Chains A and B, each alone.
Chain A
Amino acid sequence: MSIQVEIPEPLAGKVAEAARVQGRSPAEVVLEAVAKRLDPLARFNELMAPVHERLKELGETEDDAVEYFEQVKHELRRARRAGTK
């Protein structure tokens, strides 16, 4: 999909400067800024993709994983309390 947008000054100057400093094209800078604004978790979810894949491989649901996490949490809490007694 292609969208043409006129970027007014002084914003256009800021885009050009960011592109120069980052060694990227102005289009890449604009795209990243728009993605960050519209989907602030995009980069985070992209980084977590291997974890999401792993969940699929395991055949687990979110509920299964949270239940396992809770089980480990309570084990660690009990161990900590026993150790501090």
Chain B
Amino acid sequence: MTRPERVVFDCNVYFQAVISASGPANRLLRLAAEGRLTLYASTYILDELRVLTSDPRVRMKYCLEDATLDEFFAMIRQHAMLAADVPHVFDLPRDPDDAHYVDLAVAVDAKLIVSRDKDLLSLRDAGTAEGRDFLSRFPTLLILTPPEALKLLASDSAPA
């Protein structure tokens, strides 16, 4: 399988990278920072991430301060390419907001979405109508969890 150089991270992957320096999401972000992956984001994703990390429940529970969040967003902007135009091409009735991740991946020709979202991950299931629709329309677009993505990238970069 060809190494998926262009990737899209779900906002939950960014959050996971914040809360642990040693976990799989942080390692993926490191690959992007090292230029070994081309990470794509959008205003929509960054806005949702900003809203969520500013939510009092999340902020208080995980001690997220304004200064650290500002650094976090600056770091994302430094290492991610911001897609200007993301046409709507996919519908996901069980969570319409998740469709944006597929829209973005298609817009930037990314071959990998990394996510912890159950609705997005369910699109891998050919046993559902939504899964069949997704898999038939976007057969080369992978949706993987962070550990799965790392495993794929590691196997792909290993010498033959």
**Interface residues of A, Cβ cutoff 8 Å to B:** 39-41, 43-45, 47-48, 50-55, 58, 62, 65-66, 68-70, 72-74, 76-77, 81
Contacts and interface: CB of A to CB of B under 8 A. Distances in A.
A9 B57 CA distance: 53
Given A41-B29, A50-B68, A69 B95 contact: no
Interface residues on chain B, size class: 35 or more
B26 A41 contact: yes
A72 B54 CA distance: 11
Nearest to B11: A73
30 contacts: A40-B30, A40-B33, A40-B34, A40-B79, A41-B33, A41-B75, A44-B75, A45-B21, A47-B68, A47-B71, A48-B19, A48-B21, A48-B68, A50-B63, A51-B18, A51-B64, A52-B19, A52-B20, A52-B21, A62-B16, A65-B15, A65-B19, A66-B116, A69-B52, A70-B12, A72-B55, A73-B11, A73-B12, A73-B48, A77-B97
Contacts, number: 85
A66 B64 contact: no
B137 interface: no
